[in-house]
Structure 1
Amino acid sequence: MRGTRSTATPSRPRVLLVTHHYPPEHGAPQRRWDTLTPRLLEAGVDVAVLTPPPHYPTGRLQDARAAYRPGSVSRGRHGERVVRTRFRPHAADLLSRTIDQAVAAGSAVVLGLRFFRHRPERPDVVVGTVPGIPSMFAAWLLARALRARLVIEMRDAWPDLIEPSGVLDARRSLTSRLLAGARAVVHRAVSRLQARADAVVTTTETFAQVLLERGVRHVAVVRNGTSFQPLTADDAPEPDPRDSDALPPARPLRAVYAGTVGRAQDLQSVVRAAANVARRGLPLDVRIVGAGARVPFLENLAAELDAPVTFVGPVPHEEVRRYYAWADTVVVSLRDWKPLEWTVPSKLYEVMASGAYATACVAGEAAALVSRSGAGSVVPPGDVDALTELWSGWASSGTVPEADPLAARWVAENADDDVLAERYLDLLGSLVGPLRATEGAR
């Protein structure tokens, strides 16, 4: 879809966001727009949102108040107009989640036409975010119907992640072969929509280059951001009288992972490495903080291997700081899937900003960033032996390196929320006219 903007742009440009994830939910996609929205509003951009009621990550409605009922219209905490779509309660499996995303996307089209088809409310730009994939198709339909520009925001390397992630797995049976055909259709559809969008937003330079090489004409890089501040003495948890400040043998080496516990994070390699270190007689304490579909599997694996891993569950964001201060190293982990080499997990920016030393089980752009900035030690994804050796060395010597201050400076210069808002405003300005953040947004 190209060149279909409204003939008369209002004095305040209008953006309509179609997303499956939005506050008051918590997560990386939710945080991204929770920080972008007030800065766009301060710059004179009207923001409206089509999104389901809060139901992430459980799949069940989190709040039954009237403002979250499907079809309701309310104001978000920054003053943005929020229209809540229908959704389908879901379980952790892929099919159930995909149906939920499709229901929400279909509802977004219906409600979008109902509330935004008249000229005073009609958007200049429709932004569709991924995940989930159906949101981008809903955004495309709305952009065409409302004669608006289309921006597709790819937070991950879709459609390339379809095959390695196991989405529409096609390894066996007639059903699987049918799913293989569906996978190919989805891959082509996503690629064509990326090519037809007026702009595609990626969060990394690497994936932007991939899309440019595929013929996508306008690609903008707006990284994920963080407001995480360096750790201080106030963040330290209450001392355990059984512990010492010294590393082993006085106390175990401490490692923490805090974030989504899913397939893409490959935390089974962390559990296996922890078990290996323990078998060598070296004290180790690993904490996995967060929720996700892989928690039951990992709990069973840790019990089977007698791994020194504790599963904490989700905690408030302020509590994450205490876990970072408690740990000697913070784990950032991704699977060894090729498309994940084109991504940088938002959690890495947080760790770099905190000043904690990272154990980075990543490749590609993320690994290069860690190495260049001195943010931590890089281990190839899925390499259990390499991770075992790294942690064993620290546990044996009683020392863990310190992160280079360059890492926190890099985040301040490249992943600061105000910097990212300026880049989004530049993108919108290229579509509807020059925009700049006001002093109030800084």
Structure 2
Amino acid sequence: MRDLLIITNYYPPETGAAANRIFHLADGFQKRHFNVSVLTPLPNYPKGKVFKGYRGTFKTFSVENEIKLHRLWIYACNSKNKVLRLLSMVSYSISLILFFCFNKVPKTVIIQSPPLLVAFTSIFFLRSKSRKLILNVSDLWPIAGLELGAFKKNFGYTLLEKIERFNYKNADLVLGQSHEILDHIKSLFPEKETFLYRNYPKIHSPKVSLTPNPTNKIKLVYAGLLGVAQGIYKLCHELDYSNLEFHIYGDGAERSQIEGFIKHNDKLPLHYHGEISRSKLHKVLLEYDVTIIPLLKRIYGSVPSKIFEYSKLGIPTVYFGGGEGETIIKENNLGWIAQAGNYTDLNNVISNINISELSIIRNSIKKAADRNFDFDLQFDRLIKTI
């Protein structure tokens, strides 16, 4: 049985796409007879506070689903203050260094990026001719941070670019979730070995109901992180509610603003349901007609994993973010496209959705997802490269 270590910032019981993605990665290897260990912080995302049951300790060890989990100390923080967020990353990096010093590290290591600093620490200390380092890149930093307005082109940004290039250069294999990510890496290091690893979910795909929606209003739903990049608070302001009701699930930095908006606009068909487990969410989502995947700004390299998750459930999507995600929606007929940042176009797209055709559309989407987004098929190809 081959030993494999995965280093990540996110892992269940944390929620969100990143934690789910890494869990399925670890579980996929374990089910293919790898001896999998995971290094991850004490769970704290997205609230920025260590979860109950993990507080008051510097590290824990457990075995879950036959995967060895080492949870390390971190200064948990979700503050907008850049210094505090940096301190959080540094604290976890220190915990990783201590782990590397006192524990045997396998010959095959998968390192999640971003965060860049955590990936840099892992690659810097684990470089070895006898060890294979695999960098799993889910977003392009610092480019994405620049596009979101989190960074400015200054000395700090230049330093992050150097760290990014160091990580790519010293990784033996780079996994990227989008063609844009791999194109960017190849532009810097043309000879680098890469592999397109989409965030296909490993979930049960329910049978799609063909019962038409009896109401006249579209039941639109968003589920996920309520962060700045998603722009759900602005979306609440801009939607035309004359032909829809909007339901929100999740947690994040904009939660209090969204709750405040709903409180002061209680006549609108706008509902916030809090955060629920992923298994419950999959059942709840089936009650809605259409999902929406918004990005406040188009982010180069980003492909929201919700695209694949929702399509596997047979739920049509209104995509409002541009980029490669838009291409995937179009090529696989998974829903509708609204011009990124154009709320007039978004409202027009939603108003033209034919409710009577939704059941047929859902069945078509489910078939396309089962055909094109196969987790096991992709994973078996990945195994051959490692």
Judge conservation of contact 1:47–1:81 (CA < 8 Å) in 2.
yes
Q: Which residue in 1 is equivalent to 2:11?
A: 22
Letter of the 1:272 counterpart: H
Partner Cα separation in structure 2 for residue 36 and residue 105 of structure 1: 22
Figure out how many residues of one structure are paired with residues of the other and give that number.
Answer: 382
In structure 2, the CA distance between the partners of 1:253 and 1:411, relative to structure 1 (3 Å rule), is: closer
Could you give the per-residue CA deviations for residues 133-184 of structure 1, whole angstroms, max 9, x where no partner exists?
Answer: 22201221232269522211111122311211233457xxxxxxxxx31122
Residue 24 of structure 1: CA displacement? 2.5
Equivalent residue in structure 2 for 1:113, among 86, 101, 125:
101
User: Is 1:284 aligned to residue 255 of structure 2?
Assistant: no
Partner Cα separation in structure 1 for residue 355 and residue 138 of structure 2: 38
Q: Which residue in 1 is equivalent to 2:334?
A: 375
Where in structure 2 are there 5+ consecutive unaligned residues? none
Partner Cα separation in structure 2 for residue 405 and residue 365 of structure 1: 24
Q: Which residue in 2 is equivalent to 1:314?
A: 275
Residue 377 of structure 1: CA displacement? 0.7
Q: Which residue in 1 is equivalent to 2:39?
A: 50
Partner Cα separation in structure 2 for residue 59 and residue 398 of structure 1: 40
Normalised by the length of structure 2, the TM-score is 0.88
Residues 95-110 of structure 1: matches in 2 within 5 Å?
A: 95=82, 96-110=84-98
Q: Which residue in 2 is equivalent to 1:259?
A: 224
Equivalent residue in structure 1 for 2:182, among 197, 208, 233:
208
User: Is 1:61 aligned to residue 50 of structure 2?
Assistant: yes
Partner Cα separation in structure 2 for residue 40 and residue 418 of structure 1: 11
Letter of the 1:327 counterpart: Y
Judge conservation of contact 1:269–1:384 (CA < 8 Å) in 2.
no
Q: Which residue in 1 is equivalent to 2:24?
A: 35
Higher relative contact order (CA 8 A, sep 6+): 1
Partner Cα separation in structure 2 for residue 267 and residue 381 of structure 1: 14
User: Is 1:412 aligned to residue 386 of structure 2?
Assistant: no
Equivalent residue in structure 2 for 1:220, among 173, 189, 195:
195
Residues 134-145 of structure 1: matches in 2 within 5 Å?
A: 134-144=117-127
Partner Cα separation in structure 2 for residue 142 and residue 253 of structure 1: 53
Partner Cα separation in structure 1 for residue 182 and residue 368 of structure 2: 20
Residues 162-311 of structure 1: matches in 2 within 5 Å?
A: 162-169=145-152, 180-216=154-190, 217-232=192-207, 245-248=213-216, 252-274=217-239, 277-278=240-241, 282-301=242-261, 307-311=268-272
User: Is 1:89 aligned to residue 47 of structure 2?
Assistant: no
Partner Cα separation in structure 1 for residue 181 and residue 345 of structure 2: 27
Residue 303 of structure 1: CA displacement? 5.8
Could you give the per-residue CA deviations for residues 185-229 of structure 1, whole angstroms, max 9, x where no partner exists?
Answer: 112221232123111110122321222122251111111121344
Q: Which residue in 2 is equivalent to 1:421?
A: 379
Residues 146-165 of structure 1: matches in 2 within 5 Å?
A: 148-165=131-148
Question: Alignment partner of 1:425: what SS?
Answer: helix
Partner Cα separation in structure 1 for residue 132 and residue 171 of structure 2: 8
Question: Alignment partner of 1:411: what SS?
Answer: helix
Partner Cα separation in structure 2 for residue 358 and residue 201 of structure 1: 26
Judge conservation of contact 1:20–1:101 (CA < 8 Å) in 2.
no
Judge conservation of contact 1:256–1:323 (CA < 8 Å) in 2.
no
In structure 2, the CA distance between the partners of 1:55 and 1:200, relative to structure 1 (3 Å rule), is: same
Residue 413 of structure 1: CA displacement? 4.2
In structure 2, the CA distance between the partners of 1:289 and 1:404, relative to structure 1 (3 Å rule), is: closer
Give the structure with the larger strand fraction.
2
Partner Cα separation in structure 2 for residue 369 and residue 345 of structure 1: 10
Normalised by the length of structure 1, the TM-score is 0.78
Percentage of identical aligned residues: 19
User: Is 1:324 aligned to residue 285 of structure 2?
Assistant: yes
Partner Cα separation in structure 2 for residue 405 and residue 399 of structure 1: 13
Partner Cα separation in structure 2 for residue 203 and residue 188 of structure 1: 22
Where in structure 1 are there 5+ consecutive unaligned residues? 1-11, 117-121, 171-179, 237-243, 429-442
Partner Cα separation in structure 1 for residue 77 and residue 342 of structure 2: 33
